[in-house]
Amino acid sequence: MWTCISRAGAALLAGLIGTAPVSGQTTPKAPPAFMQLFMPPTPAESIEAPLSAKLADRLALVWFETAESSCRASKSLDQASYQKLARTMLVAVGDHMRQLAINAHDGPKAEAQFAAQAGAGATEELRRLSNDPVVKEFLVRNRDRSAVEQTQAYLENIERALLLSRVETRARASPLATGDDILLDIEKVSSAPLDYVDANKSPAMNRFLDLMIIAERAVGDTSNRDELLKWGPGRLMSILEGPLKANCIMKP
């Protein structure tokens, strides 16, 4: 039972509320009060995770090898230049997706549904439970999980955007496309929160997971699904095109 509960609730803390993209609005909204505890790390924070940094370096190497050599030489662009570019683009894409995702939420409706299903005072109960040692360690591990999974999602969407725009690269950086061993390391980080919950069962953790599931449902039920369906990775080219042309990866 514990594995089922934790896996159902983990979708929330995996960062879906911060990565599911939509189109349209550009002014960020504040998340519902009960969701503030669950907000994943920012893209800039995520890129600092060791595995996220490795994903960025993989993208940097692909772009370095793809860049036209004479253009690259004329601008004195070395591998460090592409490492900086890859990190900058991953964070920029992440900021775009995160902001648009938050704008899809209807905070008042989500809070009303959460209160109706979880009970009066549930938001404060979440805060109290988050101070429980077991819950606190779970949140730390799940934040690490979110950081890597978000960076991987940004990387995959960047490569999808380039494919849709017929931009050819020497290789793929996403480990899902290459099947490299880094996938095993990512899986270890991804499974760590659930493994921890299964090994540290407690009434506080059980109640916290129950509230997580209710929170996830409240956000999903009240989000603007029509806007979610309008988004596609091709929209990221407005972010990517200028820097990639300036760094000899795309033709001017």
**DSSP letter for each residue of 24-72:** S--SPPPPPGGGGGGPPPPHHHHTTSHHHHHHHHHHHHHHHHHS-HHHH
| Nearest one of 216, 211, 193 to 138, comparing CA atoms | 193
pLDDT at residue 243, rounded to an integer: 98
Q: Where in the chain are the domains?
A: 2-19+30-246
252 residues of the chain, pLDDT tens digit each: 333 333 334 434 334 444 444 334 445 566 778 888 888 899 999 999 999 999 999 999 999 999 999 999 999 999 999 999 999 999 999 999 888 777 788 888 999 999 999 998 999 999 999 999 999 999 999 999 999 999 999 999 999 999 999 999 999 999 988 888 899 999 999 999 999 999 999 999 999 999 999 998 998 898 887 777 778 899 999 999 999 999 999 998
What predicted TM-score, i.e. pTM, was given to this entire model? 0.86
CA 184 to each of CA 31, 146, 175, 179: distance values in angstroms, whole numbers, following the listed order: 33, 16, 10, 9
Asked if residue 104 lies in contact with residue 227, where contact means CB atoms within 8 angstroms, the answer is: yes
Look up residue 77 and give its DSSP letter.
-
pLDDT at 16: 41
